[in-house]
Structures are given as structure tokens and as C-alpha cells.
Structure 1
Amino acid sequence: MTQPLAHSPARPISAQRLLLGCGVVAGPFYVIVALAQAFTRQGFDLTRHPWSFLANGELGWIQTANFVLTALATIAAAVGLRRALAPGRGARWAPILVGAFGASMIGAAIFPADPAMGFPAGTPEGPGAVTTSGILHLAVGGVGFLCMAAACYVVASRQAREGRKSWALYSRLTGTLFLGSFVGIASGGGVAWANLLFVAGIVAIWSWLSLLSLNLSRA
């Protein structure tokens, strides 16, 4: 009499893969929640208003929660990157820089951007009043953007050393676009090209983190 085939136990999901999974979903979550608001909030215009403005007004709590939840997922992803990249070039600094970007999003949630340029509805047109919260929002955001752009270059250096030239080029291009988009929005707020470039930079950096996390989780 033949014996029934034994079923092999399911392979448990490691903590590293769970942490990297946070990196896979962080970007899509942030972008979807932000765009859902951008297309439904009265008076919001993607060509004029940065996504940070969504944290203002009666429904501003949605974007604030979006900042915090995405930040926590990004910090978790940074821990996963530390495990996945060790040992080797970038194993220390790439996770630190990605984690700093996550921390900056918590700072952006604590210190919302100043209402301006007619948003939220009822706000006068023009740059509006500059408050301490608005200044700190820009400051923590700037630090976070610089850290994330630097993370792209650090990871690119490792990928180039490993002979993964296409990945290295992609990482460098993403870091450059992300940095350029921040410079554009910081210097040309309210200008259509600067805001659209900023949207492109945001989508690009989150796509990069998602693809990097997915790639490392499969290694």
C-alpha cells in the first residue's frame, strides 16, 4: 500500500522579508492616498499646490496620517535594508539615509506647511503668512529629501561594484530627479512646471524604494 505524499511545511516569512515588504507598499500607499485627496479636495490643483498643503483644512488629518503611516513603513524598510545589504558597501549608510527620510516625514506631519495660494478653500491667493511650522516643515523636508537622494547614490555605488550597471544607472537617475524636483519646488512654488516636476520626483523615489525592496526580498 502506497503511503500518501507528505506535505512540506510552508516556508515561514522571515522578519527581513516583512520589513522589506513595508518598503514595497510604502510608496504606493502614500501616492494613492495623496492623489485621491488631490483629485477630490475642493480647490486643490496639482499644478499649483504641493501635496504637503493637503495636511491643512478640515480633512487635513488624512494627509497627516498618510505622512505618519508612510514614515513608519519607510523606517521599517530601512531596518530591512540594513539586514539585506549587510555586509558590503552601503550596508550602513543606505539604511541610515532611508530611515532619516522616514523620520523627516514624521517631522513634516508634526509641522504642517502653511496654507497658501488659495488652498485650503477660503485661503487668500498668494504666498500667505510664513509661520514657524511652515519653516520647520520646509527644513525637515529638505533634510529628508537630501538624505533620500544620497541613499540613491550610495545604493548605486554598491550596484555598480556588483556589476549591476542598469540598476546603478536607474538609482542615480532617480536620485538626481528627486533632488532636482525638490530644488524646483523650493524655488518655484506655485509654478506649474515646478509642481509637476515635484510630483514626478515623488513618484520616482517611491517607485525606486518599492522596486529595490522587492528585489532584495527575493534575493
Structure 2
Amino acid sequence: MSAPTYVDVMVDQLLLACGLVVGPLFTVAYLTEGATRAYYRPRRHPISCLAIGDRGWTQTANFFVAGLLSLAFAVGLWRAGPSHWGALLVGVWAIGMLSGGIFPTDPVSGFPPGTPDRLEHSTRQGVLHSLFSMVAFVALTAACFVFAWSGARGWAIYSVASGVLFAATMALATAAFAQKERLVDVGGLIQRVSVTIAWTWLAVLAVHTLRA
């Protein structure tokens, strides 16, 4: 096998760098939009609800950008990373992000105003949104465990802990959006914690792979 060329190395680094920038970009975009959207309560409402309404195109674009950057990162992991299975799982996460832009959610927790609190899958696109989201969450959790085997003990512990915490907080957020009484008013906050855990782990994975 021939040694990688300078161009190959640069391409790998650019693809892996996508894993560093995607989380901050996605986060800044939804925080800005959530802070300026009328009647939207970030502590209560899910991020996906920002894709509903006349200004929904901003969050739709956010999903697409995040999905494409995550997909590029998955390609970089496939080319240079320690696990093809892990790269595929990150690719599934990327497809979930893209699907969030293609299939908007149905109203959740009373947003937009005048809609029911409980999520009612009244549209096909809402059903597909929930389905692809669940697959993406499971894939990213699995990726945390798969990549845990690709480094030293500290990295393994961090990856496993990230997978457990991501799955647990996402389960709590799902219960909140299903109107669990003690959680419903903080469902959006819990989801943001969960998504932050995911993006942070992906960024650290990018650094871990770049160093390797």
C-alpha cells in the first residue's frame, strides 16, 4: 500500500475538522433563533419545533448544514479513523440531522400556540421525523461505545460515559415531550443538555482522531 500523499492528508484533516465546527454552529443557530421566536420557550419546547412556521426555514437550514458537516465528518472517520463501524454510525446520525430538515416535526408541548400539548402524529412527515430522530439517537449512542475501544483508558471512560448520559437525557426529554408532568416544563432544557453532550463528544472524537 502506498503512503498517503499530502493531498490525502489535507483532505482527511478537512473532513475531520467538520466534526469540530458542526456542534458550535448548530448550537449558536438554534439558540439565536429560539431567543427571538415569539411564544417559543426554550426550557419547554424541543429544538425541532423551530422548523415550524414562517421562520422555520432557519432551523431547517440548520439541520441541513449540520447533517452535511456530520456526513463529511463520517467520511473522514471512514478514511482515517480507527473504526469503520463507528464511522457508519456517525453517518446514520448525519442522516438523522438531514431528515430533521426534510421532515419537520408535528407541534409539541403547545408550540406553535393553539396546538395540543401532547405530540400527535397527524402528518406523515411528523411520523418520519420522530422515526429518523430515534434511529439517529440510537446510532450516536452506539458510536460512543464502538469508539470507546479505539483509544486509551481515559478516552474509553469518557466515550462510555457520554453514551450513557446522552441516552439517559434523551430518554428524559422524550418523556417530557410526552407530557410527563414533572418533566414537561423542562423538556427543552433537558434536550439541549443531551444534544450538547453529543456535539461535545463528536468534537472530542475529531480531536482524538486528528491526533492519531
Measured against the shorter chain, the TM-score band is 0.7 to 0.9
Partners in 1 of 2:100 and 2:167 — Cα distance? 17
Counterpart of 1:61 (choices 36, 45, 57) is 57
* Matching of residue 126 in structure 1 with residue 117 in structure 2: yes
| TM-score, scaled relative to structure 2 | 0.88
Counterpart of 2:76 (choices 77, 80, 86) is 80
Aligned length, in residue pairs: 200
Partners in 2 of 1:170 and 1:22 — Cα distance? 21
Offset, 1:126? 2.0
Alignment check: 8 A CA contact 2:67 2:97 kept: yes
Paired letter, 1:198: Q
Counterpart of 1:178 (choices 144, 154, 166) is 166
Partners in 2 of 1:117 and 1:210 — Cα distance? 31
Alignment check: 8 A CA contact 2:173 2:191 kept: yes
Partners in 1 of 2:37 and 2:95 — Cα distance? 27
Q: Unaligned stretches of 5+ in structure 1?
A: 1-10
* Matching of residue 71 in structure 1 with residue 67 in structure 2: yes
Query: What is the root-mean-square deviation in Å for CA atoms of aligned residues?
Result: 1.8
Counterparts of 1:1-219 in structure 2, within 5 Å, are: 14-86=10-82, 91-120=83-112, 122-127=113-118, 129-130=120-121, 131-159=123-151, 164-189=152-177, 191-219=184-212
Partners in 1 of 2:119 and 2:134 — Cα distance? 20
Offset, 1:132? 1.8
| TM-score, scaled relative to structure 1 | 0.85
Alignment check: 8 A CA contact 1:115 1:123 kept: no
Which of these two proteins has the greater Rg computed from alpha carbons? 1
Paired letter, 2:21: V
Q: Unaligned stretches of 5+ in structure 2?
A: 1-5
Paired letter, 1:103: I
Paired letter, 1:140: F
Question: 1 or 2, which has the higher helix percentage?
Answer: 2
User: Identity across aligned pairs (percent)?
Assistant: 36
Partners in 2 of 1:158 and 1:44 — Cα distance? 41
